Amino acid sequence: MARYELLDNIAHKDLRVAIRFGAGFGDDVGMVEAFPTEFAELQREYPIFFRKDPEGRFHAVALLGFEQRENLYLEGDRWSASYLPGAVARGPFLIGFQERQVDGQLRAEPVVHVDLDNPRVSGDGELVFTASGGNTPYLDRVIAVLRGINDGVQAGREMYAALDALQLIQPVTLDIRFDDSHQVKLTGLYGIDRERLAALDAEALHGLHRSGWLEGAYLVLSSLYNMRRLIAEKQRRIREQEGGQEQAA
C-alpha cells in the first residue's frame, strides 16, 4: 500500500532515495507508461506502443521486455540505456494538487508528494534536501521529470484522441520467434498505421502538424526500430541461460 505525504523539507529533512535498479524496486516490468513530452528521447532506445485502459482510452507505453515481469534493460542494478523513462525516473514521487489562493482566486496548484512506503525510500540513497532545507540536485531533477509527466498527461489525452479520430491507432500483434524453441506472441498493443498516415489529405495533415501531434506520430513509428535491439538482447539472454544450464548439467 502506498503512503503518500506532501513533501516537506522539515518533516522529510533526512529523506533519502535509492537510485539503484532491480526487481526489489519494482523495475522488473515488461512495459512502463510513456508520455508525448519524452517521445523524442524515448524513441532513440525504446519501442513505443499504445494500450487501452479499462475506460477505452489510449495510453502510450515503452516496451521493456516480452513477458510481464521481464525488463531487458536491467543488468544487475544498472539500467542499460542513456535515457530513463519518466515513469521510472520519478522514483517514489508524484504530482498532486492542492487548493491555494492565487491572486484572490482558489486554484488547484501542483505540489510534490512522496510515497514513504516505496522501496526506494531508504537510509542509504540520495538526499532529497540539503542541510539548509533547500532542494538537492537530485530533487531538482525529479521535479523536472514530474513537470514533464504532468504536461505529458494532458498532451497525451489530446494527441491520442486526435490520432484515434483519424483512425491512425490500430491494433498490432507481435509474433516473434527468438530461436527454434523460443517464441512469444504479444497482444493488446496498438501502433501508428503507417499507410493510413501516409494517405491523409492535406487538411488532416496540417491539423496534426499545427497541433504538434504529427511529429509525435512519426517518433512513435521511428521507435519501432528499437525492436531489433530488444530481440537481440532477448536472444543473448536465452543463449546465456541455456549455456549456464549445460554447464550445470
pTM of structure: 0.91
DSSP 24-35: GGT---SEEEE-
Q: Identify the pLDDT of residue 247.
A: 63
> For the chain, what percentages of helix, strand and coil (3-state, to nearest 5) are there?
35, 30, 35
Locate the DSSP E strands across the chain: 4-6, 16-17, 31-34, 48-52, 58-63, 74-75, 78-79, 93-102, 105-115, 121-122, 126-127, 169-179, 182-192
Q: Identify the pLDDT of residue 98.
A: 79
The span from the CA of 62 to the CA of 35, in Å, is 9
pLDDT by position in tens, the chain (length 249): 789 999 999 999 999 999 999 999 999 999 999 999 999 999 999 999 999 999 999 999 999 999 999 999 999 999 999 999 999 999 999 998 877 777 777 777 789 999 999 999 987 899 999 999 999 999 999 999 999 999 999 999 999 999 999 999 999 999 999 999 999 999 999 999 999 999 999 999 999 999 999 999 999 999 999 999 999 999 999 999 887 666 655
Which is it for the CA torsion 112, 118, 122, 126, positive or negative? negative
Q: Is the CB of residue 66 less than 8 Å from the CB of residue 176?
A: yes
Which is it for the CA torsion 204, 208, 214, 216, positive or negative? negative
| Torsion region of 96: left, alpha or beta (phi above 0 gives left; psi -120 to 50 gives alpha) | beta
Paired with 135 in beta bridges are 129
The span from the CA of 58 to the CA of 191, in Å, is 11
